[in-house]
Each structure stands twice: as structure tokens, then as C-alpha cells.
Amino acid sequence: MPKIPIFEKKNVLITGGAGFLGSFLCEALLKEAKVICLDNLISGALVNIEHLLKYEDFIFIKHDINEPIDVSKWPELDRFKIKFQGLQEIYHLACPTSPKDFDKYKIDTLKVNAVGLLNLLEIAAQWKSKVLFTSSSVIYGPRPADGSFVAEDYKGVVDHLSPRACYDEGKRFSETMLATFSEVFGVDARIARIFRTYGPRAKLRIGEMIPDFVVNALENKPLEIYGDKSFRTSLCYVSDLVDGLIKLMHAETNPGPVNLGSDQDVLLVEVARKIIEMTDSSSKVVFKAPLLFMSQLPLPDIVRAKDELGWFPVVRLEDGLKAMIEYAQAHRQLLGAR
């Protein structure tokens, strides 16, 4: 296939681009690319990308990637010269992740990790696009009993018939698809295994505890932990995570799967108390029954990310929480309506 010309800027497709993480990625990539944001708005929200719609180099298309995709035939993309330039990069972030609504979107979750990814990989094979898939720490299975860090070669154990297997095993199968397309068609397929991430624009009242902690503290409501006082986690701020994704995509050679997340372990109850203190709230911390999709995750070994990408988290937890509190204070009316 002859070399595909690039007119001014590369074309980048981001699935799930109106979501929490996707919207920040769209924003960051606009500095260097023409960005196509694809989202069916199951988990995403237009409010996350409203500020980007004014840019000529940004296009939002509401579409379910489980349905056929032919970007060269979408008239909205004519100005991106897709028919001639194709797509240089594809970031696949689309996947429902609501702990409280997990059962509601099980089939969507199953399909997006199989049919949706297949649709994208076929495009990648056609246009020789680089693909970055946002996998998950859940592919490692439960946190090791000794609390040890998991490196990328850790196999883990995942129950492929469990009630949450459509996500856990779905992510593992997605990685297999990427490896297979790489072997058969030469697709440059990159895998980011993402650990728990927090920041502004995270959807509220779906069971992701950190954003709810902030809003509830501002409203002097209870901060609900779905587990007990021993619930531990690592927390990576969204700007750090986005930086890691871009560095992985830009790496000269494919380093293989890469863990992206914080390697600092924190007690969730201490995070909740810190938020109460930072907001001068009268809220109390309460404990509720665990959610199927909300579990204690392994801690990431991030040596590969440091060595191969020059990446590591730089935003302190206190600074990340401060940014979330400021965002929530500025958007309280809007957040209450979501």
C-alpha cells in the first residue's frame, strides 16, 4: 500500500470520547491532531465536550461502535479528508463502567469488547492506523493476598463465568484480538492497562466513589464507601493518565502491555476524611454493601512505563482532590442536574 498523505495534521479517532477520560484525551490531542470523537453517550455526556465543539479540528459523532463503521462515508468528516488521509491513530476507550448500572449494560459491555473492537481493528488494518486499547487492571484478577505489585507479566486468575466476566474476561479477550490482528495484519496495537483514575468530569451517582465523595461533602451528605474500613486502592489523577496514554501511542516501538496508574496504596476511608476536611464539611463516612463491579484492585508495578515511556504520576493526591473540589464548586448546579 502506498504511503498515505497527511494534510497539515494527523487524523485521530477516539471512541468513548465524550466520557470522563475520553474528553480529557480529546482536549489534549487537539494540540497536535484533528480529533474525531465517537460516542453513543451511554456513559459519556455532551457537557464534557461542549467546550471543544467550537474548534474546526474537532468533530463529535454520535454512533454505537458495535454497529458498522465506515468513516470515509460520513459527510461530517469531509473536511478531514478521510478518503485520502484515512486515520493515523485510534484510541479505543468506549466501554460502560457504571458500578451501580453494571447489570443494565452487560450486553453492551460484552459487545464493545468484541464486536466494537473488531470494527475498529478492521479500519486499522485498512488504513494502517496505530491502535491504543484501554484495557484494565481487572485482567490481573483480585488483589494478591500479600498486597504485592503486579507487573505486566503477572498472569492472574479471572473467573470467565462470573457475573462480572463480560467486563473482566471481555478486556482479556480484547487484548487477544489486538495481538491477533498484530500477528496477522501487522496492526500496531498498543495496550494500556489502566488502574483506578479520578478527576473532574467523572460521572456522578454511579458508584464511582471519589467524585461522589466530593459532591456529597460539599452538600454535607454522607460519604458512602461500598465496603469496609479496610478498602484500599490506588488513585491516579486524570491528567497523568492521559499523558501516559499519549506517550504510549507516541513511543517509537511498541513496548507491549503497559500498566498506567499510581503505585501508592491508600485507604479509601482516609481519602474520604481528607475530602471532608478540605471542604470543611459536616459529612460523615458510612459503609454500605460492596458492589459487584467495585472491588479492591491490585497495585500496579509501573517500572515498564517509567523505563519505556519516561512516565510516572506527578499529581499529588491532595492537589488532585483540590482540583476536583474546585471543579465541583464551580459546576454545582450543572452537576446536580446530571
Are 130 and 277 in the same domain? no
pLDDT score of 207: 64
Same domain? 190 vs 146: yes
pLDDT at position 27: 98
Q: What is the pLDDT along the chain (338 residues), one digit of tens a residue?
A: 445 666 679 999 999 999 999 999 999 999 999 999 999 999 899 999 999 999 999 999 999 999 999 888 899 999 999 999 999 999 999 998 877 788 899 999 999 999 999 999 999 999 999 999 999 999 999 888 887 899 999 988 888 998 889 999 999 999 999 999 999 999 999 999 999 999 999 887 776 789 999 999 999 999 999 888 998 999 999 999 999 999 999 999 999 999 999 999 999 999 999 999 999 999 999 999 887 666 778 999 999 999 999 999 999 999 999 999 999 988 765 555 44
Does 149 reside within a domain?
Answer: yes
Which pLDDT score is estimated for 100? Answer: 78
Q: Tell me, yes or no, whether 27 lies in a domain.
A: yes
Residue type at 136 in one-letter notation: S
Domain-located, residue 99: yes
The three-point CA angle 186-192-195 to 5° equals 165
Give a yes or no: residue 134 inside a domain: yes
One domain for residues 151 and 269: no
Q: How far is the C-alpha of 234 from the C-alpha of 150, rounded, in Å?
A: 13
Give yes or no: residues 111 and 252 share one domain.
yes
Full domain range(s) for residue 275: 204-233+264-294+315-336
Residues 208 and 82 in one domain: no
Contacts of 319 (CB under 8 A, 6+ apart): 237
d(CA 60, CA 68): 17
At 29 the pLDDT is 98
CATH of the domain at 286: 3.90.25.10
Out of 140, 167, 198, 237, pick the active-site residue: 167
- Indicate whether 97 and 189 sit together in one domain: yes
- Backbone φ, ψ for residue 58 (5° rounding): -130, 130
Q: What is the pLDDT of residue 293?
A: 64
Contacts of 123 (CB under 8 A, 6+ apart): 13, 69, 71, 87, 90, 129
186 grid coordinates: 501487522
CA atoms of 248 and 236, how far apart (whole Å): 16
Is 167 a known active-site residue? yes
Residue 56 falls inside a structural domain: yes
| 3 occurs within a structural domain | no
d(CA 161, CA 166): 9
Domains in the chain, number? 2
pLDDT, tens only, 52-90: 999 999 999 999 999 999 888 899 999 999 999 999 999
**Interacting residues of 294 by C-beta distance below 8 A, sequence separation 6+:** 99, 207, 208, 209, 226, 227
Asked if 219 and 146 sit in the same domain, the reply is no
Reduce the secondary structure of the chain to three states and give it as a string. Answer: CCCCCCCCCEEEEEECCCCHHHHHHHHHHCCCEEEEEEECCCCCCHHHCHHHCCCCCEEEEECCCCCCCCHHHCHHHHHHCHHHHCCCEEEECCCCCCCCCCHHHHHHHHHHHHHHHHHHHHHHHHHCCEEEEEEEHHHHCCCCCCCCEECCCCCCCCCCCCCCHHHHHHHHHHHHHHHHHHHHHCCCEEEEEECCEECCCCCCCCCCHHHHHHHHHHCCCCEEEECCCCCEECCEEHHHHHHHHHHHHHCCCCCCCEEECCCCCEEHHHHHHHHHHHCCCCCCEEEECCCCCCCCCCEECCHHHHHHHCCCCCCCHHHHHHHHHHHHHHCHHHHHCC
Domain co-membership, 175 together with 224: no
Same domain? For 158 and 28 the reply is: yes
Residue 211 and residue 145 share a domain: no
The answer to whether residues 17 and 26 touch, using CB atoms and an 8 Å cutoff, is yes
Alpha carbon distance 61, 29 (integer Å): 17
CA 330 to the chain's CA centroid = 24
Rounded Cα distance between 222 and 210, Å, is 13
Residues 223 and 121 in one domain: no
Q: What CA–CA distance (Å, rounded) separates 261 from 134?
A: 12
pLDDT at 1 (0 to 100): 46
pLDDT digits (tens, 9 = 90+) for 100-119: 788 899 999 999 999 999 99
For residues 244 and 188, membership in a common domain is answered with yes
Q: What is the CATH number of the domain that holds 186?
A: 3.40.50.720
pTM score of the predicted model: 0.93
Identify whether 81 is part of a domain.
yes
Residue 309 in any domain: the answer is no
